[in-house]
């Protein structure tokens, strides 16, 4: 029976969903949404705050500020409330309402930027606001998830070793690319300890992370309008880009089988299914994909028919019947 004295002490690290019956491939989904912050970001948040405290960056009276599309904001709000810090989350209109309300309920403050910058999009606008805020008052402490090595170190120390132990015959790992903290931490660990494992990054069409052209994106969590400074492409073997329409379709298909996951998970699963079909068909490949969060925070977006129709057109994918197999259309972008 787990007994904790702070919320970051609890995290389910060993839950995997066998997707084999749904995707006709040997693929497992590592579920990272079962903790008090509801996402994989709790690990990175705790690691960054711990390091800032050890280094004397965070002291009594400090106000943590961070740019986030949602999940890291909730994770930092949880830890700030637990440790007695004030917290400001700088986000944009794509952040869903449930996430904003969660941050506020935990005592945090939310600032939403409404205009993207010409070069950096909404992310560029968020970063610009954070810098101005920090320049205005030295009590503000920016952990900067985009450059902070403790972002990826959390997954080097915890996420990657866990899945490597659970799957000694692992062939391919699929990780979504946002700040690339999870991706880089897992890739660095596997390069050092399991170099035979193929590491595939999954990103959204419209993200500039891997050199593609910028385009509007509505699903928070994956993708970036500014190339992630943590990203080292030499550590990954391949990249899959997934259109958001297909991410939503995959989310609905998973939900039709009782698994309600977030938009990032739909993207990663869709990309993994495509990559395996083209590169490792057959039953002899063991693959794991990382699911960052669950789907409750996306009920007014990914799972809301009106929102989907407004952003992707009336012909956007609808929920499939439960007895239909999981499949995605289209070729790799």
Q: Which residues of 35-49 are buried (b: 16+ CB within 10 A; e: fewer)?
A: bbbbbbbbbbbbbbb
Q: Tell me: do 81 and 204 sit in the same domain.
A: no
**Catalytic residue at 41?**
yes
| Structural domain includes residue 326 | no
Q: Tell me: do 95 and 163 sit in the same domain.
A: no
Instruction: Among 120-129, 228-237, 257-266, name the one with the lowest average pLDDT.
Output: 120-129
Evaluate if residue 25 carries a pLDDT over 90: no
Q: Considering 30, 41, 67, 249, which one is annotated as catalytic?
A: 41
- Global pTM reads 0.92
> For residue 299, how far is the Cα from the chain centroid?
17
**pLDDT bucket at 316, cuts 50 / 70 / 90:** low
User: What percent of the chain shows pLDDT beyond 70?
Assistant: 94
Tokens of 146: 């985009």
| Structural domain includes residue 321 | no
Per-residue confidence (pLDDT) for residue 331, from 0 to 100:
37
* Number of separate domains in the chain: 2
Q: Tell me: do 198 and 77 sit in the same domain.
A: no
Q: How far apart are CA 223 and CA 206, in angstroms?
A: 7
Tokens of 3: 């007994």
Evaluate if residue 77 carries a pLDDT over 90: yes
What's the DSSP call for residue 325?
P
Q: How far apart are CA 83 and CA 104, in angstroms?
A: 16
Q: Tell me: do 57 and 103 sit in the same domain.
A: yes
Q: Which residues of 258-292 are buried (b: 16+ CB within 10 A; e: fewer)?
A: ebbbbbbbbbbbbbbbbbbeeebeeeebbbbbbbb
Which range marks the domain in which residue 109 is found? 41-142
Q: Tell me: do 293 and 266 sit in the same domain.
A: yes
Evaluate if residue 329 carries a pLDDT over 70: no
Distances (CA, A) of 16 to 162, 167, 175: 11, 11, 15
**Higher-pLDDT residue of 174, 69:** 174
| Structural domain includes residue 90 | yes
Per-residue confidence (pLDDT) for residue 321, from 0 to 100:
33
User: What percent of the chain shows pLDDT beyond 90?
Assistant: 78
CATH code of residue 264? 3.40.50.1100
Helices vs strands, H then E, count in the chain: 11, 10
| Structural domain includes residue 118 | yes
Q: Tell me: do 119 and 216 sit in the same domain.
A: no
Evaluate if residue 216 carries a pLDDT over 80: yes
Beta strands in the chain (DSSP E): 16-18, 27-31, 63-67, 86-92, 109-113, 140-142, 172-176, 198-204, 238-242, 287-291
Q: Considering 68, 264, 291, 301, which one is annotated as catalytic?
A: 264
What's the DSSP call for residue 261?
B
- What average pLDDT does the chain have? 91
**Catalytic residue at 247?**
no
Instruction: Among 174-183, 200-209, 318-327, name the one with the lowest average pLDDT.
Output: 318-327
Per-residue confidence (pLDDT) for residue 322, from 0 to 100:
38
| Structural domain includes residue 219 | yes
**127 CB-side CA count, 13 A:** 16
pLDDT of 120-154, one tens digit each?
Answer: 788 889 999 999 999 999 999 999 999 999 999 99
Q: Tell me: do 162 and 117 sit in the same domain.
A: no
Q: Tell me: do 76 and 206 sit in the same domain.
A: no
Boundary residue ending a domain (75, 110, 142): 142
Q: Tell me: do 216 and 281 sit in the same domain.
A: yes
Q: Tell me: do 218 and 265 sit in the same domain.
A: yes
**pLDDT bucket at 328, cuts 50 / 70 / 90:** low
Q: How far apart are CA 215 and CA 207, in angstroms?
A: 7
Per-residue confidence (pLDDT) for residue 29, from 0 to 100:
98
Per-residue confidence (pLDDT) for residue 318, from 0 to 100:
52
Q: 140-142 and 16-18 as β-strands: parallel, antiparallel, unpaired?
A: unpaired
């Amino acid at each position: 029976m787990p007994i904790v004295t702070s919320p970051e002490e609890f995290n389910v690290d060993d839950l995997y969903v066998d997707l084999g019956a749904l995707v006709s491939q040997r693929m497992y989904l590592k579920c990272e949404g079962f903790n008090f912050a509801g996402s994989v970001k709790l690990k990175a948040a705790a690691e960054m705050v711990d390091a800032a405290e050890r280094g004397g960056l965070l002291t009594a009276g400090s106000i943590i500020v961070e740019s986030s599309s949602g999940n890291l904001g909730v994770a930092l709000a949880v830890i700030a409330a637990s440790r007695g810090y004030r917290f400001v989350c700088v986000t944009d209109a794509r952040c869903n309402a449930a996430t904003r309300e969660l941050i506020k309920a935990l005592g945090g403050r939310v600032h939403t930027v409404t205009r993207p910058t010409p070069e950096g999009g909404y992310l560029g606008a968020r970063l610009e606001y954070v810098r101005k805020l920090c320049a205005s008052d030295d009590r503000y402490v920016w952990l900067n998830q985009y450059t902070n090595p403790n972002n990826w170190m959390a997954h080097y120390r915890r996420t990657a070793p866990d899945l490597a132990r659970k799957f000694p015959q692992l062939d391919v790992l699929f990780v979504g690319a946002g700040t690339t903290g999870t991706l880089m931490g897992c890739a660095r660990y596997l390069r050092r300890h399991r170099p035979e494992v193929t590491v595939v990054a999954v990103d959204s069409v419209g993200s500039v992370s891997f050199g593609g052209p910028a385009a509007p994106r509505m699903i928070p969590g994956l993708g970036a309008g500014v190339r992630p400074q943590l990203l080292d492409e030499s550590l990954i073997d391949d990249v899959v880009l997934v259109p958001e329409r297909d991410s939503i379709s995959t989310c609905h298909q998973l939900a039709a089988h009782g698994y309600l996951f977030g938009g990032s998970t739909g993207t990663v699963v869709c990309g993994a299914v495509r990559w395996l079909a083209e590169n490792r068909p057959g039953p002899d490949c063991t693959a794991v994909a990382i699911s960052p969060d669950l789907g409750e925070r996306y009920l007014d977006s990914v799972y809301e028919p009106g929102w989907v129709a407004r952003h992707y057109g009336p012909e956007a994918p609808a929920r499939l019947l439960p007895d239909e197999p999981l499949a995605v259309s289209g070729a790799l972008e």
